[in-house]
Amino acid sequence: MDELALEESASAEARWKSLKHKANWIRLSSMTMNHHAGLGHTGGDLSSADILAVLFLGELLKIDPAQPGWPQRDRFILSKGHGAAAYYSALAARGFFPTAQLKTYMDPLSMLNGHPDRNKVSGVEANTGPLGHGLPVAVGAALAARMRKESWRVFVLTGDGELQEGSNWEAAMTAQHYRLDNLTVIVDRNRIQQGDFTENTIRMEPLAERFRAFGFAVEEIDGHSIPELLDRFTHLPIEVGKPSCVIARTIKGKGVSFAENQPAWHHGVPSKEQLAAAAVELGMDAAW
């Protein structure tokens, strides 16, 4: 390798490392929020952290915290709204509001409800929480870009259990019919829903084939690999003329050994001791 290539790969690696650290900060921040609130959805916060870190802190989304309503911005919708702690953490880290506010999560009259609230929180694109709302709204936002001849893109992050809601598949048909290649659906494929593994509840496989049959260009990647996420999100659409679906293979509870792959951690709330143990595993003293 010549000097330049070496330098580039060194800086790429530094970037990956820094983003991984930020993802782990999102993890610890969410767990701290859930601990303070005594409520929350730890498992899904942790599985989505790398995706959120890459999109929000890897500068992939064209957004501007100084003007959250900037009309040309990329739209990101967290359809799995119960992952609000991770999302709020990413928004705060991106500068939409001070991280100091995160500790008010679910407090009386706090702007930080247990689910994303665009009426109250700068940077939140859609009011979600009831599952199956994000994709239809994302389709509308993608259609609006086309009608207004704008180049903004729309990203929507769904759960995998969430895809059992029929509204997703109605929206998927609209997306393919209108060939919305400015739309990317990211599925947090952690294989667990609220009560059990998805495949023990309502089988979701073959998920990629289903999206393909619905007219999407589909790619499956490791949802915890920063380089894979960066690479995928910098090369969109997957196929011109088709909506993109990125199935991010993830682990629910990722990064905290005792929470990993445990259905009970869907809405598990860490105790003080568990929070301390998580901080050690995530390589930091405290998030804030």
Ligand X SMILES: Cc1ncc(C[n+]2csc(CCOP(=O)(O)OP(=O)(O)O)c2C)c(N)n1
Query: Residue numbers of the site for ligand X (CB under 6 A)?
Result: 41, 43-44, 47, 80, 82, 129-132, 159-162, 188, 190, 192-194, 252, 266
3 state DSSP class of 249: strand
Select the binding partner of residue 128 from Mg ion, ligand X, another protein, none (C-beta < 5 to 8 A, by kind): another protein
Among 13-21, 43-51, 60-68, 195-203, which window interacts with another protein (CB under 8 A)? Answer: 195-203
Does residue 69 bind another protein (CB under 8 A)? no
For residues 48-86, one letter each, b for 16 or more C-beta atoms within 10 angstroms of the residue's C-beta and e for the rest, the string is bbbbbbbbbbbebbebeeeebeeeebbbbbbbbbbbbbb
Choose between 136 and 159: whose C-beta lies nearer to Mg ion.
159
Does residue 47 bind another protein (CB under 8 A)? no
For residue 243, the tally of other CB atoms under 10 A from its CB is 32
Question: What is the C-alpha separation between 76 and 123, in angstroms, rounded?
Answer: 9
Q: Which of residues 174-203 bind Mg ion (CB under 5 A)?
A: 190, 192
For residues 113-152, one letter each, b for 16 or more C-beta atoms within 10 angstroms of the residue's C-beta and e for the rest, the string is bbbbbeeebebbbbbbbebbbbbbbbbebbbebeeeeeeb
Does residue 236 bind another protein (CB under 8 A)? no
Choose between 48 and 182: whose C-beta lies nearer to ligand X.
48
Choose between 130 and 241: whose C-beta lies nearer to ligand X.
130
Considering the complex, what minimum distance in angstroms separates the CB of residue 158 from ligand X?
7
Choose between 176 and 190: whose C-beta lies nearer to Mg ion.
190
Does residue 160 bind Mg ion (CB under 5 A)? yes
In 3D, which of 270, 219, 266, 275 has the Cα closest to residue 242?
A: 219
Considering the complex, what minimum distance in angstroms separates the CB of residue 120 from ligand X?
19
Choose between 18 and 194: whose C-beta lies nearer to ligand X.
194
Is the bond preceding 206 in cis, omega lying within 30 degrees of 0? yes
Choose between 43 and 123: whose C-beta lies nearer to ligand X.
43
For residues 165-178, one letter each, b for 16 or more C-beta atoms within 10 angstroms of the residue's C-beta and e for the rest, the string is bebbbebbebbbee
Select the binding partner of residue 80 from another protein, Mg ion, ligand X, none (C-beta < 5 to 8 A, by kind): ligand X
Taking CB atoms within 8 Å and a gap of at least 24, the contacts of 65-73 are 65/94, 65/95, 65/96, 65/122, 65/123, 68/96, 68/122, 68/123, 71/150, 72/150, 72/151, 72/152, 73/152
Select the binding partner of residue 166 from another protein, Mg ion, ligand X, none (C-beta < 5 to 8 A, by kind): another protein
Among 45, 50, 165, 228, binds another protein (CB under 8 A): 165
Select the binding partner of residue 125 from Mg ion, ligand X, another protein, none (C-beta < 5 to 8 A, by kind): none
Positions that interact with Mg ion (CB under 5 A):
159-161, 190, 192
Contact residues toward another protein (CB under 8 A) are: 37, 39, 81, 106-110, 112-115, 117, 127-132, 161-162, 164-166, 193-196, 201-202
